[in-house]
Amino acid sequence: MREPRAVRTVLTASLKRRAWAEAVYCLLSFVPALVGFVLIAVVAVALGSVLTLTVLGAVPGILFLVAGLALARGLGTLQRWLAQRLIGERVEEPPRPEARRGLVAGVEARLRDTGAWRAVAYVLAKLPLATLGLYAVLWWVIGALNVIAPLRWMAGERNPRLLSPFPGGGQPPLHSLGATFAATALGCAVLLIAPWLTRGAVAGDRRLVRALLGPGALAKRVRDLEETRALAVDDAAERLRRLERDLHDGAQVRLAALAMSLDMVREQLDDRDRPELRHLVETARDNATETLTELRDLSRGLHPPALDGGLADALTTLAARAALPVEVSVDAPNRPTPAIESLAYYCAAELLANVIKHSGARGCGIELSTGDGTLRLRVRDDGRGGAHIAEGGGLAGLVQRARTVDGELTLHSPDGGPTTVKVRLPLHA
Amino acid sequence: MRVVIAEDAAVLRELLSQMLTVRGHEVAASVADADALRAAVTEHRPDVAVVDIRMPPTRTDDGLRAAIDIRREHPATGVLLFSQYVETTYATRLLAQGSAGVGYLLKERVANVAEFTDALGRVAAGGTALDPEVVTQLAGAGRHTEELRALTDRERNVLTLMAEGRSNAAIAQQLHVSAGTVEKHVAAIFAKLDLPVSEDHNRRVLAVIRMLRQGPRG
């Protein structure tokens, strides 16, 4: 039962949309492959020649290199687009070099751009493959020309030639209409083979595109991990916030209502009549109130409500509750994501608690600013200093928490003080 | 007194309404969000509005914003905010326009119905009712300024209780001292804070504002 299907596949291959798209791909992608190869060869030659001139040649040499890499990246983008549109090979763009300030740093980042270097490798490896692809396309053309040999005869072409796809295969002229039908048969045979040739060339190119034009396995893995980690961090923050909201709208409201009802009952009870009952109700009410207080502290730990109004509000509230004077200065024009805000808040709260517990400081300052995609928190005190990041300690915990979002915490605390702790976090996880 | 209640939790809203009605007050409206509160105050012109801070639509500080608007647009209506949290910035924003006719209590204070109703009455009459927790925080934030540092601990206690909106007699009772002693303390506070000689009630409010203004600016 399988045989007829296999036969049909072979017979109809050249009529399939996919085969046509692959042939078009082979044809179109040859152009950038050739142009790219030539340009990169030119860059290489130019590079070689300027470097042989003098040491001063290094400057234009680097510029040639940078230009060549940019060119390769551009060609890579074009090839990715062609591959996606025509052969359905979807490959992500490799990570771009970080934008850095300063000419030297910028040039260095470009020279270290592995994505561009791999695009160069692609352009170099692509040309032989593209040539093969073009040859496969030639099979299509020759097959088609042979198939229409009788039409060419009838259109008045004298002695059309039989075309062979093999180099040096000869081109015997056809002397009769009957012979042209033999050419048609041969053309059909060529057309049966042609799709498999283009498919082979495309398959090779696919591997090359995946290997050299994508982000690379490691870079891709890193990107995946970064994305999923950001999701996890945001999700955790959102869950805590929802938990706090649920407590606020549910248990806390009911407890308040319960305490209120109990107090209304207490008012109804006459002290002379049933003192023990009144006492019992009072105790119940007080228990409800105390539970409410505990619940409030708990949910403040989950998500401080002042954070809804941003870090400035939350830090001001934090400072007001502190047992020593705290100067707060917040300059945060760019608002971070809720997860980062909450992380920054807990860093500030923990650091402030440390100052109060250990430093013996008389005053403390909290500064927070956002800019350049970074949140900077600085907590300083005029205490006795000598703090260090002990394993398993509160500071080590903060270092860990900052690291979960690629942030960092640095401590400067000489003996005798003052102590400064700097926390740097990205604006989003 | 005529009261409007704004609280999004139905169970608490109804209980409050029931409690106030039983005590002979008129509950003109009880609503569940900030926009309905604004409309109800405009329509009923109540003596006082009990306002939950965290209400729809955004469930953050909608109640507070409505309260500030109400104090500005309807000065005859007092506003008692009540919330499960005390946030210094909320208190400072509320008190920025002055402390007359405003209150800010923790929600759990409804567990003492009599005191809660008293506080509501003070706010309706143009007085102040601040939760001890609010006062502690605000005083904490402002305690390091020169003027307040000049006060003795006892005087600071008295000032704190004044901020809660208590009368001299109530303060005396709370601190277990005579009314005369409290008067002496109050006079010392007025002197140290350099408050002009005027009506006693007015000076009390000024003293409280002086203390609260030292707090952080939101």
Report the number of secondary-structure helices (H) and strands (E) in chain A. 13, 5
Q: Which two tokens stand for residue A362?
A: 């008389």
Write out pLDDT tens, residues B77-126.
Answer: 999 998 888 877 788 788 877 778 899 999 989 999 999 999 999 999 98
Write out pLDDT tens, residues A329-354.
Answer: 999 888 899 999 999 999 999 999 99
Going by pLDDT thresholds of 50, 70 and 90, the confidence category of residue A255 is very high
Question: Does B64 contact chain A (CB < 8 Å)?
Answer: no
Mean pLDDT value of segment A380-394: 87
Mean pLDDT value of segment B188-205: 71
pLDDT at residue A202, rounded to an integer? 92
Provide the pairing of β-strand B48-52 with B2-6.
Answer: parallel
Going by pLDDT thresholds of 50, 70 and 90, the confidence category of residue A387 is confident
Q: Which two tokens stand for residue A76?
A: 């890579």
Q: How far is CA B34 from CA A212, B7, B54, in A?
A: 59, 9, 9
CB contact set of A163 (below 8 Å; sequence gap of 6+): A142, A145, A146, A171
Strands (E) in A176-282, as ranges, are none
pLDDT at residue A147, rounded to an integer? 87
Write out pLDDT tens, residues A276-299.
Answer: 888 999 999 999 999 999 998 888
* Residue of A364, A359, A292 lying closest to A322 (CA atoms): A364
Q: Which CATH architecture has domain B2-130?
A: 3-Layer(aba) Sandwich (3.40)
* Closest B-chain CA to A330: B218
ipTM of this complex prediction, to 2 decimal places: 0.81
Strand, helix or coil for residue A364: strand
Residue A357 and residue A419: Cα distance in Å, rounded? 14
Residue A173 and residue A179: Cα distance in Å, rounded? 9
CB B185 within 8 A of CB B144: no
pLDDT, greater one: A422 or B206? A422
Q: Measure CB to CB from residue B19 to each of A264, A313, A321 and give the nearest one.
A: A264
Residue A407 and residue A340: Cα distance in Å, rounded? 10
Going by pLDDT thresholds of 50, 70 and 90, the confidence category of residue A220 is confident
Angle at B107 between CA B102 and CA B113, to 5 degrees: 85
Write out pLDDT tens, residues A73-115.
Answer: 898 999 999 999 988 888 888 888 777 777 888 888 888 888 8
Half-sphere exposure (Cβ direction) of A179: Cα atoms closer than 13 Å: 12
CATH number for domain A306-426, candidates 2.40.400.10, 3.40.640.10, 3.30.420.10, 3.30.565.10:
3.30.565.10
Q: What is the residue type of B41?
A: V
* Contacting residues of A for B112, CB less than 8 Å apart: 263
Going by pLDDT thresholds of 50, 70 and 90, the confidence category of residue B164 is confident
pLDDT at residue A369, rounded to an integer? 93
Q: How far is CA A163 from CA A24, A153, A194, A199, B49, in A?
A: 21, 14, 14, 22, 97
Residue A198 and residue A19: Cα distance in Å, rounded? 8
On the question of pLDDT at B156 being above 50, the answer is: yes
Rounded to two decimals, the pTM is 0.65
Going by pLDDT thresholds of 50, 70 and 90, the confidence category of residue A407 is very high
Mean pLDDT value of segment B152-162: 84
Provide the pairing of β-strand A419-426 with B26-31.
Answer: unpaired
Binary contact (A259, B110; C-beta < 8 A): yes
Interface of A with B in 304-333 (CB under 8 A): 305-306, 308-309, 312-313, 316-317, 319-323, 325, 328
Domain edges within chain B = 2-130, 136-213
Q: Which two tokens stand for residue B49?
A: 């509005």
| Torsion sign over Cα A19, A24, A27, A32 | negative
Task: Name the DSSP class of A415.
Answer: B
On the question of pLDDT at B205 being above 70, the answer is: no
Q: Measure CB to CB from residue A263 to each of B61, B113, B144 and give the nearest one.
A: B113
Q: Which CATH architecture has domain B136-213?
A: Orthogonal Bundle (1.10)
Question: Does B15 contact chain A (CB < 8 Å)?
Answer: yes
Mean pLDDT value of segment A14-23: 85
Residue A19 and residue A194: Cα distance in Å, rounded? 9
pLDDT at residue B198, rounded to an integer? 60
pLDDT, greater one: B191 or A400? A400
Residue A292 and residue A165: Cα distance in Å, rounded? 88
Mean pLDDT value of segment B134-151: 67
The H-or-E segment that residue A294 falls in is helix A275-302
Min distance B72 CA to chain A CA atoms (Å): 22
Mean pLDDT value of segment B145-159: 78
Q: Is the peptide bond before A325 cis (omega within 30 degrees of 0)?
A: no
Question: Does A298 contact chain B (CB < 8 Å)?
Answer: no
Residue A223 and residue A72: Cα distance in Å, rounded? 22
Q: Which two tokens stand for residue B183?
A: 């008067």
B52: Cα separation from own chain's centroid = 13
Alpha helices in B45-176 (DSSP H): 62-73, 88-95, 113-124, 132-142, 146-149, 153-163, 168-175
Strands (E) in A274-416, as ranges, are 326-331, 364-371, 374-381, 408-412
Mean pLDDT value of segment A189-213: 90
Dihedral, B84, B85, B89, B95 alpha carbons, nearest 10: 50
Mean pLDDT value of segment B176-200: 81
On the question of pLDDT at A157 being above 90, the answer is: no
* Residue of A163, A136, A413, A265 lying closest to B19 (CA atoms): A265
pLDDT exceeding 70 applies to what percent of chain A? 97
